[in-house]
Amino acid sequence: MGSDLSLAETVPASIISIRTGEWQKLAVSLAELSLDTTLRCGQSFRWKKLNDDEWTCSLHGRVISLKQDPKQDPNHLLYRVTWPSNPPLTKLSSSGKGVKVENDPMKDDTEALLRHYFNLDPNLTELYERWSQADANFKKRAPMFTGVRILKQDAWEALVGFICSSNNNIARISQMVNNLCLTYGPLIGHVHDQAFHDFPTPESLAGPEVESQLRKLGFGYRAKYLARTAIIVSKEKPENWLESLSNTEAFDESEWKTLEPGGRPGYRKAHEELLALQGVGPKVADCVCLMGLGWGESVPVDTHVWQIAQRDYKFGRGKHKSLTKATYDAIGNHFRLLWGEEAGWAHSVLFAADLRTFAIRLTEKTEVQEEVQIKGESEDGVIVQATVVKKREAIKEETIKEETTDDLSVVFSTTAKRSRRK
């Protein structure tokens, strides 16, 4: 294994010389971007919260730390960059299309990178208002979950991350992706004594021993899917094939656009091509379309969304009693009709509201009176007993399901692939 050049070289922290910049400000309010929600709701699996208020990840050949201060400065995002003295010699997977990358601190493009990555062009406050006007359920839940944006991630990273998401939970997916980067991604630097590697390229995962190594790392059956997908993307598809499936239309918030039931032709084409990959069912394809390719109308349906559709939107009865392919499509079409071209953004707000991670936001405090028996002794030695009424706060909490992201579409997607082979 030591001769496998696809494995990332482990370098002691003392050898990696780094330069850390000062904290800088980017004007964006908490209503437009909430790090604590956006980075924890199952979009990206590489951000680490090293301190109580600091999120850190390697992106585009540098390590970026972010934080927000709701009390002192709610209208700015603070960011700091840690640069390696010598940029990695290997190609960086995160250096995708859509943003020019500079590895030179003297030509710091981090603000542009963050604007691109966090998809800051759409006015989220206005979108929330539109969705609230169209949907009473969204209006009820959204105030607790402002600032949920859809990231504009590297498409390859999104594809790998969501192949790992099948029948999995967010914590374990994050662990798997972290192990993948530590093993195959180029080392960028260390922050707070933690190593940060960039995301591995398709080429680095296309070697003959990758599948067996991933199984040792705990990827299970997903190891085969990832190894095969890396070979397809790096050797069998045209260069930049994934990026060619991206939405290139500029966001237009001036009008509410009515979509065809199945979404725009470009979205349908991207979804169909992704389904041809091993380990990619309709849910995984929709996740990649939404969070890696920029198709805002994409609505991934997993356990959470299926539960939401049944509980709040009258699915789960009649012809949509179970999650067949027809029901999966019907749920997506329902939300596209309800929320418009950025239906996937609105869906992600409700998805976050259904996660156990954020259950505390859905609690209600009520005042409860209860009788308490008190015993004491009077001055003349007589034992007395009295009943008094005390008030206390009780918490009423909604039931939140476990943070699984099970791909409920696996049954009908497998059937569909079998039928295509015949």
The residues that are catalytic are 283
Q: Which strand (E) or helix (H) includes residue 187?
A: strand 187-191
Q: What residue type is assigned to position 406 of the chain?
A: D
Q: What residue type is assigned to position 12 of the chain?
A: P
**Is residue 144 classed as helix, strand or coil in its secondary structure?**
helix
Q: What residue type is assigned to position 218 of the chain?
A: G
Task: At 383, give phi and psi (nearest 5°).
Answer: -75, 125
Q: Which residues contact 22 (CB under 8 A, 6 or more apart)?
A: 80
Residues in the chain: 422
Determine the Cα angle at 43 with ends 134 and 178, to 5°. 170
Spatial separation of the C-alpha atoms in residues 297 and 277, rounded to whole Å? 21
Spatial separation of the C-alpha atoms in residues 397 and 408, rounded to whole Å? 27
Spatial separation of the C-alpha atoms in residues 84 and 19, rounded to whole Å? 6
Contact assessment for residue 306 and residue 314, using Cβ atoms and an 8 Å cutoff: no
Task: At 191, give phi and psi (nearest 5°).
Answer: -130, 130
Any idea of the CA torsion for 50, 54, 55, 56, to the nearest 10 degrees? -70
Cα 358 to the center of its chain, rounded Å: 14
Q: Which residues contact 310 (CB under 8 A, 6 or more apart)?
A: 316
Spatial separation of the C-alpha atoms in residues 220 and 215, rounded to whole Å? 5
